[in-house]
Structure formats: structure tokens, C-alpha cells
Amino acid sequence: MIYLTRKAEFAASHYYHNPEFTPEENQRIFGKCNNPNGHGHNYTLEVTVKGEVDPRSGFVVDLKQLKEVLNREVLDAMDHRFLNKEVPEFFTRIPTTENLAISIWQRLAPKLKTAQLHRVRVYETSDLFVDFYGEA
Amino acid sequence: MKAHLTRRYMFSASHRLHNDAMSEAENKATYGKCNNPYGHGHNYALEITVSGPVDESSGMVCNLTDLDAFVEREILERFHLQNLNTVPELDQTVPTTENLSASIYDILQRGFTPAHLEKVRIQETMMNSFEYAGTNEIRK
Ligand SMILES: [Zn+2]
């Protein structure tokens, strides 16, 4: 089994808010991240796929294709967007780094053909990242 | 759905690698420059990975505020700007980064309850890093 990681970057804004919480609870749990005007990050995304090497091409996955899928499914939707207002899954889900990793997994997994998705890693800053392995 | 969250903290400390049970020559041979009598320091980068189900109401594995507060109080307070040879957790051992990793893992394992501790990783310099997960396998 070979593991291959492709990196991408995107910039987006977000805020954290749960309409079922009182304003006080929202403030206590989310702190500054609760500001409805949002704030932004430069996210770094690392997508790791795994598979056996195809004996003809010598590839686990065609990087061109992986890049296309990544651009179409993730970057076109999220780069330079206000996640809460422009990315449908975040109309209802809070766009935390955890949920971003899950959402990116859900966008990519059905579109990858030859290789299998192993891990989605999202860095919100260089001091904070989340890994999602597709676990229930 | 289960996710893994990793947070990085920085701290600086000094240490001297020396084992009283070894002869002077053996200490020199084993630890080299790290055996110099007055010690030396590093900027350590500590990465803590916790895991758990992503809470639907908050979208989080655990609130970062809780993790940050715990690490500040129980780890950074203890090790940042200290001589590791004099810190109670390490003064009976050789304060290598291996032992430091295990010690920090134990502090988290004992005291941090909001999420499951996966592993601790410490980068001692740009050239070397250490990972510890107790008796568990380290997931890549
Ligand atoms: Zn943010």
C-alpha cells in the first residue's frame, strides 16, 4: 500500500453560532469566534489517498485527476467564501475545523476513482489542525 | 463522527543529559555535548492530539479553551523556562525528550477528561521529534 498526500490552500471566513443556544451560551462556548461578522483564516488542506501502484502507470492515483477533483469539489466551493453563508452544509453545521475536515471528506470520497481516501487534514493555523479518517 | 484534533504549544527549557549510575567516560560517550555540566536549552514544540466524536451542538471534539487552560496550568507552568533536571516529574530520570514526552503524556492522561488523548509529539529541534502514545499504536 502506498500513501500519497496532496496539499492545497484556501482562504475563507466563518463564525461559530448555534441558534439553539442562548446568546450567553454562544458567547461562553464560542467566545470571539461568535462574532456574526465573521473572521478569516488561511487554511491548509492535506488530502492523503492510499492504494496499490498501478503497474502500467506507476501511479497510485493520477495527480492531475486528484488535483481537478480537489479544485472542483473543495476549492471552488470554499476558497474566498464566507463559509456560513456560501457553503450549503454550513447553513446548518457550525464551520469548525472538525466539521470542515468532515465536509471535505464527504465531498471528496465519492469522487475518487482509483485511490481510496485515507485522511483529510485541515490546518486552521500552524498551531491547530484536525484529522478525519472517515470514522463514524 | 470521530475526529482527531492537534494543538501545538511552544515552550523553552534547559537540560543536561547525565546518569549518575554511569562513569564519567560512559556519560561522555553516551550523551556527548548534551553531557556538558551546565546544561543547554531548546525551544520545544509540543503537539497534543486528542480525539472523540464531534459534538453536534458545538461542532467540536473538545473546546480549545479547556485544552489550552489545562496545558497552560499543568504543563507550561511546570516546564516552560525551567531547568528540566530540577522539575519533580523528571529529576529522577535523565530528562531526554523521550522521558519528557512520556511525562507530558502521563499528565494529560491523568488529568485531561474532555476528550480522549491520542498522542504527544515533541519536536526538540528542527532535526528531531518524538512521539508517544502510551501502549497504543501511533496512527498515521
Ligand atoms: Zn476561526
pLDDT for A20? 97
Taking the C-alpha atoms of residue A119 and residue A46, their distance in angstroms, rounded to an integer, is: 8
Contact across the interface for A128 and B7, Cβ inside 8 Å: yes
Question: A130 to chain B, minimum CA–CA distance in Å?
Answer: 4
The total domain count for chain B is: 1
Contact across the interface for A31 and B65, Cβ inside 8 Å: yes
In a domain, B138, yes or no: no
Q: Tell me the pLDDT band of A115, cut-offs 50, 70 and 90.
A: confident
Domain coverage including residue B63? 2-132
- Domains of chain A are 2-132 (3.30.479.10)
CB atoms within 10 A of CB B64: 17
Out of A95, A98, A133, the one facing B61 most closely (by C-beta) is A98
pLDDT for B140? 83
Taking the C-alpha atoms of residue B67 and residue B124, their distance in angstroms, rounded to an integer, is: 22
Q: Tell me the pLDDT band of A74, cut-offs 50, 70 and 90.
A: very high
The one-letter amino acid code at B40 reads H
Strand partners, B45: B10, B123
Q: Tell me the pLDDT band of A98, cut-offs 50, 70 and 90.
A: very high
Question: A65 to chain B, minimum CA–CA distance in Å?
Answer: 24
* Residues of chain B found within 8 Å of residue A132, distances taken between Cβ atoms: 1, 3-4
Which residue is catalytic, options A9, A25, A52, A80? A80
CA of A89 to the centre of ligand 1 (A): 17
Q: Tell me the pLDDT band of A114, cut-offs 50, 70 and 90.
A: confident
Which residue is catalytic, options A20, A24, A33, A89? A33
In a domain, B82, yes or no: yes
Q: Which of A47, A40, A18 is nearest to A30 (CA)?
A: A18
Contact across the interface for B1 and A136, Cβ inside 8 Å: yes
In a domain, B14, yes or no: yes
* CATH code for the domain of B100: 3.30.479.10
Q: Tell me the pLDDT band of A55, cut-offs 50, 70 and 90.
A: very high
Q: Which of A135, A122, A120, A136 is nearest to A50 (CA)?
A: A120
pLDDT for A21? 97
Q: Tell me the pLDDT band of A106, cut-offs 50, 70 and 90.
A: very high
Q: Tell me the pLDDT band of A38, cut-offs 50, 70 and 90.
A: very high
Q: Tell me the pLDDT band of A110, cut-offs 50, 70 and 90.
A: very high
DSSP letter (8 states) at residue B26: H
* Residues of chain B found within 8 Å of residue A131, distances taken between Cβ atoms: 3-6, 49
Low-confidence ranges of chain B (pLDDT < 70): none
In a domain, B29, yes or no: yes
Q: Is B12 helix (H, G, I), strand (E, B) or coil?
A: strand
* Residues of chain B found within 8 Å of residue A100, distances taken between Cβ atoms: none
In a domain, B61, yes or no: yes
pLDDT for B16? 97
Given a cut of 90, is residue A11 above it in pLDDT? Answer: yes
Taking the C-alpha atoms of residue A41 and residue B85, their distance in angstroms, rounded to an integer, is: 40
Q: Which of B3, B4, B10, B31 is nearest to B79 (CA)?
A: B10
**A132 and B1 in contact (C-beta within 8 Å)?**
yes
Q: Tell me the pLDDT band of A96, cut-offs 50, 70 and 90.
A: very high
Taking the C-alpha atoms of residue B82 and residue B95, their distance in angstroms, rounded to an integer, is: 12
In a domain, B139, yes or no: no
Contact across the interface for B59 and A127, Cβ inside 8 Å: no
Strands A128-132 and B2-15: antiparallel
Taking the C-alpha atoms of residue B81 and residue B31, their distance in angstroms, rounded to an integer, is: 22
Q: What percent of chain A has pLDDT over 90?
A: 97
H, E, C per residue of chain A = CEEEEEEEEEEEEECCCCCCCCHHHHHHHHHHHHCCCCEEEEEEEEEEEEECCCCCCCCCCCHHHHHHHHHHHHHHHHCCEEHHHHCHHHHCCCCCHHHHHHHHHHHHHHHCCCCEEEEEEEEEECCEEEEECCCC
What's the complex ipTM?
0.92
Given a cut of 90, is residue A24 above it in pLDDT? Answer: yes
> Is the pTM of the predicted complex or chain greater than 0.80?
yes
In a domain, B127, yes or no: yes
Question: What is the mean predicted confidence (pLDDT) over A4-25?
Answer: 97
Residue B73: Cβ-neighbour burial (10 angstroms; 0-12, 13-18, 19+):
exposed
Q: Is B75 helix (H, G, I), strand (E, B) or coil?
A: helix
Taking the C-alpha atoms of residue A111 and residue A67, their distance in angstroms, rounded to an integer, is: 12
Question: What is the mean predicted confidence (pLDDT) over A56-61?
Answer: 92
Q: Is B20 helix (H, G, I), strand (E, B) or coil?
A: coil
In a domain, B56, yes or no: yes
**B40 and B125 in contact (C-beta within 8 Å)?**
no
